[in-house]
Structure 1
Amino acid sequence: MLLRFRVANHRSIRGEQTLSLTAAPRRGEAKRTQPLQVAGIYGANASGKSNVLDSLRWMSDAIRLSHTHWKPTGGVPRRPFKLSPAGRETPSFFEVDFLHEGVRYSYGFEVDDEVVLGEWLNTFPRGRVRKLFDRGGPTDFTFGRGLAGETQRIRKLTRPNSLYLSCAASNNHPLLSGLYERLTSSGAYFIQHGELHERFRLDVVKHILDAEYATDDINELLRIADLGVERMELVETGAQEKKVVLRRRMEDAPPLSLEEESAGTRAWLSLLGHTLSILYIGGTLLADEIDSSLHPLLSSTLIRMFKDHDINRHGAQLIFSSHDTTLLGSLLNEEILARDEVWFTEKDDSGATSLYSLAEFHTRRDENIERGYLQGRYGAVPYLNFESIREIFKKGPVLKP
């Protein structure tokens, strides 16, 4: 379970930015460490919302792939800030605080184009920091007494351009393998909008249907969504191939393939596979443009599933970007997102993204957050001068009909 994520020099993120997933203290309260299940990121187009999610995905991929897939002499495939020459010359920084089996850990690293410049792992038993390992350069390691196992052998196997955590997991280190698993395959699923990514998500649904371990749950969620679909099935198409078809509620209606369904039906269905997987095992779902092709009541239902402790029994988290401002208000008289669950991105004149929380604003309890956001009260909205648009058409050519 993520508690905090920090990043610097990744794509449009130049200076260090922090995304906190712990509840903000209310007035008069001491600082709290209660984890949040949901964080929604809002901002204008091209403000960096997707890049915040991408930085988390890149960190997870680096942990998963650096030892086994990065070329030994290929450097580090990072994505620094490109709108300034200093971006290529400055290290990229990633750090995450998280809970694993009830224990808090802090893990991070710095990289340039060629090597790992620093890497560290700390734990916090009884609230006090304890160093497990620290890497002061590509080959400069120190280890804490709390880290058992074949640390020196793994150190010798760690390349200058790969992460120690990645190498340790490949060599079955007892503790670090579990942390690696938490931060990679069982820790973060990343889903994007677009036809290619939709097909990938639908393949996950197809796998669930084929394995028959959550078919009833998916079909029930399809029916609840009121899409006119009763159930979906896998049918043989020949040559040992299978495809997904959806059966309508009318008994005499022929089944339809996914390609024949509406964009909204495919969007909801394609989200269900990853959502159920992450709710069943715990971890973090990173969803870019969660509202794409979805009715606000469906996207709000997805958020409520993660915030409901009877449904989300393993502490799964949802971090998403959206333009759907209705999620900032109340649907059916129920608050969807609390103030510390709402984040904004905004770009400065140099094209660099800043990330900040709604909790930083002193809002009234009865304040209309949706209206305030659209009015620009919290920033992170595009500035559109409609009079300038009028001028374009006044000067434009006049064509005869």
Structure 2
Amino acid sequence: MLLRFRVANHRSIRDEQTLSLVAVPRRGETKELGTVRVAGIYGANASGKSNVLSALIWMIDAIRSSHTRWGPVGGVPRQPFKLSETGLATASFFEVDFLHDETRYSYGFEVDDTRVLGEWLYTFPHGRKKRLFERSTADDMAFGRGLTGEIQRIRRLTRPNSLYLSAAASNNHPLLGDLYASLVGKVLFAQHGEEDEKLRLHLAKFLLNETDFAPALNKLLRIADLGVERAELVETPDDPVLDEFARLYPEDFAVPSSEAALRAVRARVVLRRSTGGVSLGLDEESAGTRAWLSLLGHALITLRGDCVLITDEIDSSLHPLLSSSLIRMFKDPEINRHGAQLVFASHDTTLLGSMLEDEIMARDEVWFTEKDDSGATSLYALSEFHPRRDENVERGYLQGRYGAVPYLNFDSIREVFRERDDETR
């Protein structure tokens, strides 16, 4: 379960920014704080919403890949702030606080273009901070007494440009391997784009072949009022390229490699329509139907455990009632029994208001991004404005009460057309 994420010097994020999923009490409340199940990020185009999500994606990928896939002499493939010389010369910083087996951990690192400058892992049993390891270089590491195992051997195997946590997981360290799995295996990403949608639809194919998932997936397709009765798999001829993909794909999505999985990869998905019993291929369906099906697979897997789903542009091609229903799945304690979380970016302001439901997004679930004159992104929470219980957040946001909206002067737009017309006379 994600508690906080901090980042500095990644893409448009120059200065340190924090995204918190710790619940914020209203004035006068003294109840024990928990975590929110949903966090939505709003802002103008190019304000840095996607870059906040990109930073978390990059961090998880570094944990997964730095020891096994980054070249020994290839440096660190980071993406620093490029609009000033200080960004290129400054370290990039990433840190995440999370719960594992009901214990809080804090893990982070700093990197430049060539190596890891620092890495640390702390635990907080009974609320008190304890060091598991601290690193300033590959050779200069300090370990806490609570970390046992072959920690020195793993230290010697850790390259200057790879993370110790990544190396420890690759070398089967029990505790660090579990923490690695808690981060890498329990954070799923659904980015906006055609290629990512294809990967999500591949996952949906596997789930249609699994009795634990297929019934729920088809019921959610029917409930969405898309005119779809159910999704089916239709086998296609053997394809050696797909066979090779099948051997790689199950590992990436934690689906067991089996003959059933191979058949699922070779199959194609068709959607049987409610009217006339006609089946259509995905390429014949609307963008909204494909988007809903492709998100359902990730949502079902995330909700089954204490996982986190990160999705950009949750409203892309979806009706507001569908995107709001996805959010409500994560907020409903009957559906979300394991504390799964959803972090998303959106432009759909109806999710901020009360036109669709009494309250879709609570005040501590809404975040904003805004760029300053230097092009640097700032991230801040709606709760910082202490909105009243009856405040219309959607209207306030569109009116610029909280910032994070583009400034558009329509008279300037009209002037562009006047000038064009004058030139053509």
Q: Which amino acid aligns with 1:41?
A: I
Equivalent position of 2:331 in the other structure: 307
1:156-208 alpha-carbon deviations (Å, 9 max, x no partner): 11111000000000111110001000111x22111112221111111110111
SS of alignment partner, residue 42 of structure 2: strand
Task: Work out whether residues 169 and 176 of structure 2, in 8 Å CA contact, stay in contact via their aligned partners in 1.
Answer: yes
In 1, are the aligned partners of 2:138 and 2:155 still within 8 Å (CA)?
no
Structure 1 residue 374 displacement after superposition? 0.1
Within-5 A mapping of 1:2-401? 2-30=2-30, 32-184=32-184, 186-239=185-238, 241-250=266-275, 252-397=276-421
- Which amino acid is 1:161 matched to? N
Do 1:3 and 1:96's aligned partners in 2 also have CA atoms closer than 8 Å?
yes
Q: Contact 1:24 / 1:32 at 8 angstroms: preserved in 2?
A: no
CA contact (8 A) 1:24 1:31 kept: no
CA–CA separation in structure 1 for the residues paired with 2:306 and 2:24:
23
Letter of the 1:245 partner, please give it: V
Give the SS at the match of 1:39. Answer: strand
Structure 1 residues 399, 245: closer, same or farther in 2, change over 3 A?
Answer: farther
**Contact 1:282 1:314 survives alignment (8 Å):** yes
| Contact kept in structure 1, 2:117 and 2:136, CA below 8 Å | yes
Tell me if structure 2 keeps the 8 A contact 1:22–1:32: no
SS in 2 for 1:121: strand
Contact kept? 1:234, 1:245, Cα under 8 Å: yes
The 3 A distance-change label for structure 1 pair 287 and 243 is same
- Contact (CA 8 Å) 1:205, 1:270: kept in 2 or not? yes
**AA in 2 matched with 1:323:** H
Q: The residue matched to 2:421 in structure 1 has which SS?
A: coil
Partners of 2:364 and 2:91 in 1: CA distance: 30
Asked if 2 retains the 8 angstrom alpha-carbon contact of 1:6 and 1:95, the reply is yes
Q: TM-score, normalised by structure 2?
A: 0.92
Q: Distance in 1 between matches of 2:295 and 2:381?
A: 26
State the distance in 1 between where 2:95 and 2:155 align: 21
SS in 2 for 1:96: strand
- Equivalent pair of 1:235/1:245 in contact (CA under 8 Å): yes
CA distance in 2, matches of 1:96, 1:12: 19
Q: Which amino acid aligns with 2:341?
A: Q
CA contact (8 A) 1:219 1:232 kept: yes
Secondary structure at the residue paired with 2:310?
strand
Secondary structure in structure 2 of the residue aligned to 1:211: coil
In structure 2, what is the Cα distance between the partners aligned to 1:178 and 1:52?
Answer: 26
Q: 1:397 to 1:135 in 2, by over 3 A?
A: same
Secondary structure of the residue aligned to 1:299 is helix
Question: 8 Å contact 2:321–2:356 — kept in the other structure?
Answer: no
* 1:263 to 1:164, Cα distance in 2 relative to 1, 3 A: same
CA distance in 1, matches of 2:281, 2:347: 30
Kindly provide the amino acid, as one letter, of the partner of residue 139 in structure 1. Answer: D
Question: When the two structures are superposed, what TM-score results if normalisation uses the length of structure 1?
Answer: 0.97
Post-superposition offset of 1:149: 1.0
Once the two structures are TM-superposed, the CA of residue 313 in structure 1 deviates from its matched residue by: 1.5
Structure 1 position 352, deviation (Å): 0.3
Helix, strand or coil at the partner of 2:202: helix
Root mean square deviation of aligned Cα: 1.5
Shift of 1:253: 3.5
Query: Tell me, what secondary structure is at the counterpart of 1:334?
Result: coil
Classify the secondary structure of the residue corresponding to 2:232.
strand
Q: Which amino acid letter does the alignment assign opposite residue 235 of structure 1?
A: V
| Counterpart residue number, 2:254 | none
Secondary structure of 1:231's partner? Answer: strand
Deviates more, 1:18-27 or 1:239-248: 239-248
Structure 1: unaligned runs, 5 residues or longer? none
- For structure 2, list consecutive stretches of 5 or more residues without a partner in the other structure: 240-265
- CA offsets, 1:292-317, max 9 Å, x none? 01111100000000111111122111
CA distance in 2, matches of 1:356, 1:301: 25
TM superposition shift of 1:211: 3.5
Q: How far apart, CA to CA, are the structure 2 residues paired with 1:112 and 1:32? A: 39
